[in-house]
Amino acid sequence: MKGLKGLKFAILHHGYIENDFAWNVAVPKPGSIKEKNVLSEWIRVPTFSVLISHPDLGWILYDAGPCLGDEKDRLPKFVQEQFPLFSSRENFLDKQLSLLNLTPEDISLVIVSHMHWDHAGGLSFFSDTRAGKNILVSEKDYSYGLTVTHHCSTELFGGGGYFKDNFHFPGLTFNFIEEDQSLAPGIDIITLGGHTPGVLGLVLHLESGTFIFPSDAVNMSRNYGPPMAYPGILYDSLGFQRTIKKLNLLQKKYNAKIIFPHDPLQFSSLELAPYFYE
């Protein structure tokens, strides 16, 4: 497939999350009769969003990163202790956009892969903006996240990564997607299962080649394999299997490069904004 001339993307780095490796890969180092008490491995993984420049649609954002305060005490205590965020002020979305002389008001459209806090918290920067009225998200994911965080008046956190307050930023309009579709020439949205009831992945057909962003549907190359390895945070194991098969087919079809969302080794080899892949 010939890529679209003028289509390019940049990676906006939002800092790092630390957590037990078992959340990323289930049972990464199983015990044995020779080593019965295996210790946990604590790792640091990147978190980022993708800024896209499209010849017709202008500036598009894929994911928005965390919200200001998530690196301090905004998130529930459980998250602060088990998934602490290490970000400076320069890592948050508005400052990352400024590296390219942009502001949230310059963005025309936001695609949210799923509503977990480290991907959707940055929607707070889009209250009452053009992009804030044009947010694309999976209906299944949004509905599930809304349910698990609002089933009682005191529930703030639920379902693995949803945070109640992130559903209440003012001046936002969510538009639901449930099927694979072409957003515009060069940009395809794909639906992926496993991590949550519905994750929106992204396929970009650049002149230099095709790039696939599966978001947390496959959070690192260790999960993708071969062999496939289940993550520790998983909504649907059969959905995860289907996602791996779907990505395998797309990767072969387009000879594509997959960019994983929380893979520290791959991330160390990527160029970050203000650099553009094109």
Is the confidence at residue 158, as pLDDT, over 80? no
Kindly state the average pLDDT of the residues 219-228: 97
The pLDDT value given to residue 213: 99
- Structural contact between residues 214 and 251, judged by C-beta atoms closer than 8 angstroms: no
User: 55, 7 in Cβ contact below 8 A?
Assistant: yes
Q: What percent of the chain has pLDDT over 90?
A: 93
Distance, in Å, from the CA atom of 108 to the CA atom of 106, rounded to the nearest integer, reads 6
- 2 — pLDDT class (breaks 50, 70, 90): confident
Average pLDDT over residues 154-167: 81
pLDDT at residue 78 in the model: 87
* Nearest Cα to Cα of residue 260 among 223, 235, 207: 223
Q: Is the pLDDT of residue 134 over 70?
A: yes
Average pLDDT over residues 143-167: 84
Asked whether residue 159 carries a pLDDT value surpassing 70, the answer given is no
Confidence of residue 181 (pLDDT cuts 50, 70, 90): very high
pLDDT, tens digit, 9 for 90 and up, residues 195-217: 999 999 999 999 999 999 999 99
